A and B are shown apart, each in its own frame.
Chain A
Amino acid sequence: MDRSSVVAVLAMLVVSGAVSAQAGPTQQELEDATRSTEWLLPNHDYGGVRFADLKQITPATAPSLRPVCQFQGADLIRSQSNPLVYRGVMYVTTTYSTIALDPVTCRVKWRHDWKAKAKEGNTSVKNRGVALKDGKVIRGTQDGYLIALDAATGAVLWEVQIARPERFEAVGMTPLAFEDLVIVGPNGSEYGVKGWIGAFRLSDGQQVWKFNTIPDDGEPGADTWGGADARLKGGGAIWTTPSLDVAKGLVYVPVGNPAPDFFASLRPGANLFTNTMIVLDARTGALQWHKQGVPHDTHDWDLPVVSPLFTTMIGGAAKNVVTMGGKDGLLRLVDRDTRDQLYEVAVTTRTNVGEAPTEEGTYACPGVLGGMEWSVPALNPRTDVMVAPAVDWCGTFKKDDEPRFIAGQLFMGGSFTYDPIEKSRGWLTAVKASTGEVLWKYHSSRPMLAAVTATAGGVVFTGELTGDFIALDESDGKVLYRFNCGGSITGGVISYAVDGKQYVAVVSGMAAGFWQAQPGSMTLTVFALP
């Protein structure tokens, strides 16, 4: 081929969209994901708004929904994966496998099975999904690896051990891809990790920056622990996806609880940056500011929610805001410019929240399971309606007679006795996003853990621990459609379009034992109108 032909071919590629289906998404596509009718990022877009601009499924048509295909992952571990859809291919995970499939027929295109290379340090085994960028599918593993697969074939492009399973770190969260970086950190607060979040090069997995969520000596926040010993196993793990302010290049990171959870006298002080939203320069990891949800936590009330991040009209002025919430059961809206909290709304029962556990036991709500867990609220920016899922399950917190760290075991410093299962329940709370005014509540017979998705059709999709996939009317919370998927729904529920037709994909399967739910095998079910 001569030079002019090469130029011609390149020009054609540019005109036709330049990249093949599996070479993206590009940075521009990710930044435009807000308007995408596919699902490119864990919570749909960098702001984590979870709004799909699709309106075929409406309160009028939703009762006609039906399952159109299923994929079974044959996995009996926690099924919390959030699928992504890009250019007609869906990417979903099980604990150890990554699967690319057709989002209309559920037929598998490729599957990659990770074989653990290191002894897994903690037993909190799970995977919440992949990041997708520039033809790469990136995910974490339980033995501390970050791996990149070829989006077209599933072949391993690189694998780097970023976390230390011997220190009980595991990588279960969905990483966030931004420019040439993959932002991710390890979970494991309950195993006494010393938390951090880092950025790794998209091209080869090499570390670019790292921020200690539990400070080393001399770092910001180090003086909030009563000494260096407490920080060595201080927790502060990362287990949910950050949100990102693209215009300013700032990443908003949700940081988990301090350890030991209930034996707080070992760590006098505010315990920064546990239960904190930290705001970092996404390109350098430099701390810009932070806001702590529960200082000196004594109840395992992490702060897993730092989205939706959006701009809205409040009092006649445009405000840049971010939602902040956690297992303490409070949904907060924070002004990203003034850093002031604009409002907080209780989305579950809150009782005796200030009572620290004793050896005899103190009763409190929320219980050790929250509150808001790993699924974040969804926002319909056109109607100003935000819908948040929550757990409501109170109980008795007890402090141990002695705190003991046992390698590879839970480092709680106490225990929690749940109220009877009959008293457990869940809520969806819809609020006016700009003011916090509660619009409606949906009551579930069990805690609500599934992802929530809002749509332009005025229908909200989510699932229940009972296994029911539900579609609700955004205007009043009434259930329009219900289908039992056969296993608990504790993970991804997304909506997307292929060839102009709207679909909803739901992951069901196993919940962790402490939820006391119907066991099931990981299953992806796709719904559509006839």
Chain B
Amino acid sequence: MWFDRHDPMEKRWPVRGFRLAAPGRGPIGPLWFGAGLCLALVTGRTHAGDSASGVYSEPQALRGEALYVQHCVACHGTHLEGSPAAALTGPAFRARWEDGTHTLDDLYYIVRTLMPNTAPGSLSKAEYADVVAYILRVNGYPVGAADLVPKGAIMKPVVLQPH
């Protein structure tokens, strides 16, 4: 029962790239994605109705980069390419995380509970959020105005999607 909490059909907000889309339900997520894509193409920018243009800020991603270099680069590589650990960008990352069933909070949970592998939980929650912001930036998610707040309630509704 405990693992049913993450039923992919449960209520979530799909997000395209850096943009928080309007609330939707799992089954119609792709429609929101498609609509967002069209609007982005028309306007050349993100959907005006969104709460933000992105879920993290540029300064936060820069802080995350510094933390990444210090704690993550040895296993995940200079360009997040992986080897010996898992890739954090590229096709492998997209296939694993951007399948419409994973939330931003899932990514944050793995990072904060298991990383760095030699000392899990040794960074602050804010620092883990910074690292996640950096991973998002490298993967081309749009930058927003405000920091990603390290709270599950905020990250859980954000579904990672192809963008």
Q: Which residues of A come within 8 Å of B, CB atoms? A: 76-78, 119, 123, 192, 229, 232-233, 266, 398, 400, 403-410, 412, 414-418, 421, 510-514, 516, 519
Contacts and interface: CB of A to CB of B under 8 A. Distances in A.
B67 to A, nearest CB: 17
A71 B79 CA distance: 29
B87 to A, nearest CB: 9
26 contacts: A76-B83, A76-B84, A78-B84, A229-B3, A232-B3, A398-B121, A403-B2, A404-B5, A404-B109, A406-B102, A407-B6, A409-B110, A410-B114, A412-B113, A412-B114, A415-B120, A417-B119, A417-B120, A417-B121, A511-B84, A512-B84, A513-B74, A513-B75, A514-B118, A516-B118, A519-B83
A418 B2 contact: no
Contacts of A410: 110, 114
Contacts of B2: 229, 266, 403, 405
A407 B102 contact: yes
Given A77-B83, A409-B110, A412-B113, 19 more contacts: A123-B86, A229-B1, A229-B2, A266-B2, A398-B120, A404-B5, A405-B2, A406-B6, A406-B102, A406-B109, A407-B6, A407-B99, A409-B106, A410-B114, A415-B121, A418-B119, A511-B84, A513-B74, A516-B118
B78 interface: no
Contacts of B6: 404-407
Contacts of B96: 123, 408-409
Nearest to A408: B96
A400 B109 CA distance: 10
A383 to B, nearest CB: 38
Contact of B106 (A403, A406, A512): A406
A405 B6 CA distance: 8
Interface in B94-129: 95-96, 99, 101-102, 106, 109-110, 113-114, 117-122
Nearest to A411: B3
Contacts of A511: 84
B48 interface: no
Interface of B: 1-3, 5-6, 74-75, 83-86, 95-96, 99, 101-102, 106, 109-110, 113-114, 117-122
A417 B118 contact: yes
Q: Please indicate which of the listed interface residues B3, B5, B95 has the most CB atoms of chain A within 10 Å of its own CB.
A: B3
A77 B85 CA distance: 9
A407 B101 contact: yes
B45 to A, nearest CB: 32
B119 A519 contact: no
A403 B85 CA distance: 23
B3 A233 contact: yes
Q: Please indicate which of the listed interface residues A77, A408, A510, A514 has the most CB atoms of chain B within 10 Å of its own CB.
A: A408
A416 B122 CA distance: 11
Closest 9 CB pairs of A and B: A415-B120, A513-B75, A513-B84, A405-B3, A513-B85, A406-B106, A123-B86, A514-B117, A229-B1
Q: Please indicate which of the listed interface residues B1, B74, B96 has the most CB atoms of chain A within 10 Å of its own CB.
A: B96
Nearest to A121: B96
